[in-house]
Structure 1
Amino acid sequence: MKLVAGVDIGNSTTEVAIADFDDNLKFVVSSMVKTTGIKGTTDNVAGVLIALKEACDSIHMSVDKLHTICINEATPVIGDVAMETITETIITESTMIGHNPDTPGGIGVGIGRTVFLDELEYLHSNDDVICIIPKSVDFETAAKKLNEAFKKNIEITGAVIQGDDGVIISNRLDKKIPIVDEVAYIDKVPIGMLAAVEVAAPGKTIKVLSNPYGLATVFKLSPDETKHIIPISRALIGNRSAVVIRTPEGDVKERVIPAGKLILMGTKQKKVGVEEGSSSIMNSLSEVWPLKDVSGEAGTNVGGMIERVRQVMGELTDQNIENIKIQDILAVDTFIPQKVQGGLAGEFALENAVALAAMVKTSKLPMETIAKKLQAETNVQVLIGGVEANMAVLGALTTPGSDKPLVILDIGGGSTDSAYINKNGEVKSIHHAGAGEMVTMLIKSELGLEDYNLAEDIKKNALAKVESLFNIRYEDGSVCFFQQPLDASLFARNVIVKEDEMLPVPTKHSIEKIRVVRREAKKKVFVTNVIRALKDIAPNNDLRSIDFVVLVGGSALDFEIPEMISDELSHYGVVCGSGNIRGTEGPRNAVATGLVISYYNSLRGKEI
């Protein structure tokens, strides 16, 4: 047996295809593992060895018995090494909280100066006060002291509590007042300052403190001061309860780190402000295309992001930073949760932002280093194959029913690669920044999730609501019943439905909100990049000149993406579907398969 392995090192996965060259080309085994390290670096070798061993073990042979290993040209492009959300950062050092605890007490709006619970017995004034109650005071003691103060005609208009006893204390009071609880950083509340507490009725949201003019009325703010409190009022929108406290004079500071401007260098140079949004950035990109490099204004968020891209790539590829050029960017409008500075319970407000994915071109091929290291580890000849998109075309052509001319869309984790092959076998290909990992980042950021893997699960799986211990309702409205009861901890929770388990989604977002965020993230990245890619490679840049499109890569397995792309391309009369590489692999393994076929053709003197 003369066995040759094709190895596709991707951003997310490393795939292997092994074929026997003895008589005719015959594929015998495939494997796939998670990529180790960033694509195009020597860290990839560990993952390649695991994938090769896994494939060879299944046919009962050792890796060193392979005749040749063909690896993909994983550089000169490396996608999504530094996707960041670039936004204007406004930091207001004021003690203002927007809060939404599960157990507020009472109802209405209370305004007064802040005092500690222990101070109530010493008050004789008729001034309105807001009582501050630390967690060290139990609910019975707190209720007793408040009632005693009421009997002394002390005007307590509201309370702020560190624990979660809002309802319990409210039920024991002789006079109902709005109570906000679960305020973690109660020690940061300034005493003796004007404050307002608002609690809405169940099922409703606050109206006064979420309105900048409402805050201006309560705190007697000037027009200039009203402008500064807009981030606070935005943070409170949709909450059932809130506390806003005026900080001592001189304790309010504001610092602005501008989003900055991108400097796009291509056929000409153009500056575009990030705050103008993604459509303006992408329009400017098309005006200077093809892109040669990108830089950002010094001292701005986007300037820092671009420099970090160069530094990371310089370290990983042992290149001089000056030799690292950004070949493509993808800008997407999004929202990110920004921590409200001065907040007393870790509050966040959604802020408009632009997410950027950058694709980097280096001055030399780090794949040569990877090939040498892999050859030393395996004692097998290692060859660097052709451009990924070209190899993916060869792999895609093994899909039953496919033929030239053909367009492939290889939608991976970091980049969207596309290629067009005409009837004569001539191939035109292009790479664009942004794919699956950027979608995950958008979901993570817009839903305010801490766990990247959770965002990845939301991207890949359908959602459902657990309505009882014996049934769930999927996001599309369909109901599924179970003979055995579900785990009680899932009751009334939104869950991600995987093949063998249900994962609760630890956010207060509705299932509709999570679904909208997931689908919009996919449309912003995948549909945008698909249209860009097809326009770049289509004959005469006309999408209507394309007849057939085959989707390959991990994202083609997604339960929504092929349908989204097919719907979009149907406007242009394009037939689109997921590939089935070699009739067995589905949309996976296209590049690995293409590498083997390319090497086989070169030995036989064949053209594509």
Structure 2
Amino acid sequence: MILAGVDIGNSTTEVCIGECVGREPVRFLSSASVMTTGTKGTPANIHGIKAALTRAMAALGRDISEISLIRLNEAAPVIGDTAMETLTETIITDSSMIGHNPSTPAGAGQAAGTLLSYEHLDRAAESVPYIVFASGVFGYEEIAARLNSLPDRIQVVGMILQADEAVLVENRIHRKIPIVDEVARIDKVPEGRQAAIEVALPGQSVRMLSNPYGIATLLHLDPQETRAVTPIARSLIGSRSAVVIKTPNGDIRENVLPAGEIYLDAEHPATISLDEGAENIMAAVEGAGEIRDITGQPGTNVGNMFSRIKKGMADVSREDSPAVRITDVLAVDTLAPVLISGALAGETCLEKAVGIAAMVRTQQLPMREIAAKLEEELHTKVTVAGVEAVMASLGALTTPGTQLPLAILDMGGGSTDAAVIHKDGHVVITHQAGAGELVSMLIQTELGLPERGMAEQIKRYPLARVESLFHMRLEDGEMHFVEESIDPRFYGRVVLLTPDGLVRVEKDIPLEKIRQVRRDAKKKVFLTNAERALRKVAPEHNLKNISNVVLVGGSALDFEIPEMLTEDFINWRIVCGRGNIRGTEGPRNAVATGLVLSYAGERK
């Protein structure tokens, strides 16, 4: 008979086709994978299941009608969701700053002086240093000619331009000064106030204005004023240019937003405020014991997030919201670029934020409905078989070089599952919130990307910078030469090395920063989750009692996560590596393969 194991995941639906003849061992014939259609565990999954089955049978030159039995995984009631909440906010009033980072500043160095409108240059006093600001109605040639014609006793030490013309002005003036351009709301710059301006050399970032004491030096601030400008200095870290304006009535403050409290209905009930940060939240979760449900303070950011997750799952499972329970969360500290309240040129500041992944369970088993509908449409017997983590363990055992006892880490899109299968066949399992989707959200948030798709690609592929039409520098520093010329559109840009060719990162972000954010996001999610998941299933909850770990699931295909985990597990002398299911599939198809194997075992 021909049978199929079907694993419905958050991101992909995988199929394994096997053949059972009499008492002979099961013979694996083919496999296939497609994107999951709809939310995991809902009838919308049927379209993806049929597509995967059709593809797997087509590889054999056979029709889907020849399948005698389809076995589905029992994982539908568990689903992951993610959210990001900003915890701090920088507010600046009365035109206190232009913490700006345009792509084309000009000149270099820093200076301090009195702000003076270009239109009022004729009012300039002798021997007073001025920072002149000009609106976009004045052209670069006119501005340069006017500056060159000024007598020596008029000191212009810096310029602020509305137009994107800093380099054009700087190339035409006799005395080189720092120039910042692309300041959209230049009409809000207060004339007559003291200001400091700085432009760093190419490849460097501002030093004086990203240091509160540097600002104090240039603007002659007292200790109280120096403390007040700390949020400004922090927001300018990494910028190539900046202007800070001293205003007597300016208000610069960092607010802590009321993100709300998390309530743990558990063996040891607990309440924890979201603004205490991820470390304290996770300590409360770990100390709570078995968690029955997690809710949030009504009317707050986190309360609304949990309510939204529960309502969404209630809608797809057609249950009342009280029947939907959140049984696990993973909280991760991060920094999110947020538009500064009161800024003049669209400046952002890295604000403290917490990313959260939640694990949701329902009372009903939607898989029964999926099985019934699939059976009706295909006229083939469909059953719901074992628990996902158990099936993954059976599939992982087909990896060459493995033996019992064995631990597995199934790293998917929404959750990280762990299991230990002992020599007597006893299996201990756990489901943890947080996996690939949370990593993508952290990358998108920290880099300020407009869409999740680019964050997904940054997560999956290594980086390079195109330095000429025939070579690029890889993220590890290696120089890579090509035989055919690179598309000129990629010249000087950061690109992703995908199997389909180069993909340009449209936002102008240094390669080093993208790489650091990507690696940090993976470590925060996967290293944290791997350790807490394995600790829950390990004998006596001690990682030293685990000797072998096989990594399976989509995230095990990542080009750096397995290496990160291997290095981390050295501390406990754990042998860790990617699974190679059936010696041919790599880390994918473990659950689908386990579903086929488990049928063969039941038959015996």
Tell me the distance in 2 between the aligned counterparts of 1:327 and 1:54: 36
* 1:361 CA displacement: 1.3
Q: Secondary structure at the match of 1:100?
A: coil
State whether residues 91 and 342 of structure 2, in contact with CA within 8 Å, keep that contact through their aligned partners in structure 1: no
- From 99, 102, 108, the counterpart of 2:110: 108
State whether residues 261 and 272 of structure 2, in contact with CA within 8 Å, keep that contact through their aligned partners in structure 1: yes
State the AA in 2 paired with 1:108: Q
State the AA in 2 paired with 1:264: L
Query: Alpha carbons of 1:538 and 1:124: their partners in 2 closer, same or farther (altered >3 Å)?
Result: closer
1:355-366 maps to which residues of 2 (within 5 A)?
355-366=355-366
Query: Alpha carbons of 1:201 and 1:561: their partners in 2 closer, same or farther (altered >3 Å)?
Result: closer
State the AA in 2 paired with 1:6: G
Aligned to 2:386: 386
State the AA in 2 paired with 1:446: E
- Percent identical among aligned pairs is 46
Tell me the distance in 1 between the aligned counterparts of 2:3 and 2:93: 63
**1:435-494: CA deviation from partner (whole Å, max 9, x where unpaired):** 112122222222222232322222222223334332333233333322222223333333
1:491-502 maps to which residues of 2 (within 5 A)?
491-502=491-502
Q: Secondary structure at the match of 1:404?
A: coil
Aligned to 1:598: 598
Give 5+ residue unaligned stretches, structure 1. Answer: none
Q: Secondary structure at the match of 2:528?
A: helix
State the AA in 2 paired with 1:66: I
Aligned to 1:41: 42
| Residue 69 of structure 2 is aligned to residue 68 of structure 1 | yes
Tell me the distance in 1 between the aligned counterparts of 2:253 and 2:568: 48
State whether residues 464 and 511 of structure 1, in contact with CA within 8 Å, keep that contact through their aligned partners in structure 2: yes
Q: Secondary structure at the match of 1:304?
A: helix
Tell me the distance in 1 between the aligned counterparts of 2:206 and 2:556: 44
State whether residues 231 and 254 of structure 2, in contact with CA within 8 Å, keep that contact through their aligned partners in structure 1: no
State whether residues 193 and 247 of structure 1, in contact with CA within 8 Å, keep that contact through their aligned partners in structure 2: no
Tell me the distance in 1 between the aligned counterparts of 2:52 and 2:248: 62
Aligned length: 598
Query: Alpha carbons of 1:176 and 1:523: their partners in 2 closer, same or farther (altered >3 Å)?
Result: closer
Query: Please, which moves more after superposition, 222-231 or 349-358?
Result: 222-231
Query: Alpha carbons of 1:289 and 1:90: their partners in 2 closer, same or farther (altered >3 Å)?
Result: farther
Query: Alpha carbons of 1:578 and 1:211: their partners in 2 closer, same or farther (altered >3 Å)?
Result: closer
Tell me the distance in 2 between the aligned counterparts of 1:251 and 1:574: 54
Aligned to 1:194: 193
* 1:389 CA displacement: 0.1
State whether residues 463 and 495 of structure 1, in contact with CA within 8 Å, keep that contact through their aligned partners in structure 2: yes
Tell me the distance in 2 between the aligned counterparts of 1:568 and 1:434: 18
Query: Alpha carbons of 1:29 and 1:298: their partners in 2 closer, same or farther (altered >3 Å)?
Result: same
Query: Alpha carbons of 1:98 and 1:191: their partners in 2 closer, same or farther (altered >3 Å)?
Result: closer
1:314-325 maps to which residues of 2 (within 5 A)?
314-325=314-325
Aligned to 1:327: 327
State whether residues 88 and 301 of structure 1, in contact with CA within 8 Å, keep that contact through their aligned partners in structure 2: no
Query: Alpha carbons of 1:582 and 1:447: their partners in 2 closer, same or farther (altered >3 Å)?
Result: same
Q: Secondary structure at the match of 1:382?
A: strand
Aligned to 1:339: 339
State whether residues 195 and 246 of structure 1, in contact with CA within 8 Å, keep that contact through their aligned partners in structure 2: yes
Tell me the distance in 2 between the aligned counterparts of 1:153 and 1:320: 78
* 1:414 CA displacement: 1.1
Query: Alpha carbons of 1:190 and 1:144: their partners in 2 closer, same or farther (altered >3 Å)?
Result: same
Query: Alpha carbons of 1:422 and 1:114: their partners in 2 closer, same or farther (altered >3 Å)?
Result: same
Q: Secondary structure at the match of 1:82?
A: strand
| Residue 437 of structure 2 is aligned to residue 437 of structure 1 | yes
Q: Secondary structure at the match of 1:83?
A: strand
**1:313-345: CA deviation from partner (whole Å, max 9, x where unpaired):** 223322322222111111222222122223333
Query: Please, which moves more after superposition, 371-380 or 223-232?
Result: 223-232
State whether residues 112 and 218 of structure 2, in contact with CA within 8 Å, keep that contact through their aligned partners in structure 1: no
* 1:208 CA displacement: 4.2
Query: Please, which moves more after superposition, 390-399 or 482-491?
Result: 482-491
Q: Secondary structure at the match of 2:99?
A: strand
**1:238-257: CA deviation from partner (whole Å, max 9, x where unpaired):** 32321234679699898652
Query: Alpha carbons of 1:124 and 1:241: their partners in 2 closer, same or farther (altered >3 Å)?
Result: closer
Tell me the distance in 2 between the aligned counterparts of 1:158 and 1:492: 29
Q: Secondary structure at the match of 1:322?
A: helix
1:149-228 maps to which residues of 2 (within 5 A)?
150-151=150-151, 156-173=156-173, 175-187=175-187, 189-192=188-191, 194=193, 196-203=195-202, 204-213=204-213, 215=215, 227-228=227-228
Q: Secondary structure at the match of 1:99?
A: coil
State whether residues 82 and 355 of structure 2, in contact with CA within 8 Å, keep that contact through their aligned partners in structure 1: no
* 1:599 CA displacement: 2.9
RMSD of Structure 2 on Structure 1 (CA)? 2.9
Q: Secondary structure at the match of 1:7?
A: strand
* 1:306 CA displacement: 2.2
| Residue 247 of structure 2 is aligned to residue 242 of structure 1 | no
State whether residues 420 and 537 of structure 2, in contact with CA within 8 Å, keep that contact through their aligned partners in structure 1: yes
Q: Secondary structure at the match of 1:597?
A: helix
State the AA in 1 paired with 2:46: V
Tell me the distance in 2 between the aligned counterparts of 1:195 and 1:35: 59
Tell me the distance in 1 between the aligned counterparts of 2:468 and 2:69: 57
**1:492-537: CA deviation from partner (whole Å, max 9, x where unpaired):** 3333222341223344444333323222222221122111111111
Q: Secondary structure at the match of 1:19?
A: strand
Query: Alpha carbons of 1:93 and 1:201: their partners in 2 closer, same or farther (altered >3 Å)?
Result: closer
**1:128-159: CA deviation from partner (whole Å, max 9, x where unpaired):** 754432334321122234455x3496665533
Tell me the distance in 2 between the aligned counterparts of 1:89 and 1:140: 40
